[in-house]
Structure 1
Amino acid sequence: MRPASDSAPTPWATGLTLTAFSLAATVVAVVAFGQVLARIHPILAIAVNLVAAAGSVPTLWAWIRVPVLRWFAAGVAAGIPIGWLVLLVS
């Protein structure tokens, strides 16, 4: 592990842009799949959303340790509950 003084500066602009993009894509995906599945059966939509969210946790946890992927993981982790809230409202 490198000391903090040797670290490169944090690319906030690029990172936050990637986070915003991954958040928006995740919200759109969760809402789109949730609405389609809710037309079939509401319990199916709930079950698939919970299984998909639980299945993404190990991948997101591994991505937190990779400097570039941690921004993407933050957007996905925030996008899932926001997508659920949008589904509840719609």
Structure 2
Amino acid sequence: MTQARDPAPTPWATGLTLTAFSFAAIVVAVVACGQVLGRIHPVLAVVVNVVTVAGIVPTVWSWLRVPVLRWFAAGVVAGVPFGWVALLVS
């Protein structure tokens, strides 16, 4: 008779650290690129941001199936809209 294995516990501390890091990196990247492109032309900043996000969506979607990468995906998904809001405020 074989025993069923208990699933490993969720690594909340490590996972939330990865989420916070990816969140911060995405917010900084969105704001920095948006400000530089906004100085050239505001429409260019909007177009580049939308095209970039549309390009990373398939990658982030595939990360949701991998246990470690889903923490990064959570940071990216939260960081993009927060970066856009921060860009609009700045």
TM-score (norm 1): 0.93
- SS of the equivalent of 1:6 reads coil
Aligned-pair identity (%): 76
- Bigger radius of gyration among the two: 2
Counterparts of 2:33 and 2:13, CA distance in 1? 30
TM-score (norm 2): 0.93
Whether 1:48 aligns to 2:48 is yes
- SS of the equivalent of 2:14 reads helix
Structure 2: runs of 5+ lacking an equivalent: none
Matches within 5 A, 1:1-90: 6-90=6-90
Once the two structures are superposed, what CA deviation does each residue of 1:44-85 show, in whole Å capped at 9, x if it has no partner? 000000000111110000000000000001001110000000
Instruction: Give the Å deviation of 1:7.
Output: 1.4
After TM superposition, which residue ranges in structure 1, 4 or more long, deviate above 3 angstroms?
none
Instruction: Give the Å deviation of 1:34.
Output: 0.2
Instruction: Give the Å deviation of 1:14.
Output: 0.2
Counterparts of 1:58 and 1:21, CA distance in 2? 21
- Name the count of aligned residue pairs: 86
Instruction: Give the Å deviation of 1:6.
Output: 2.8
Structure 1: runs of 5+ lacking an equivalent: none
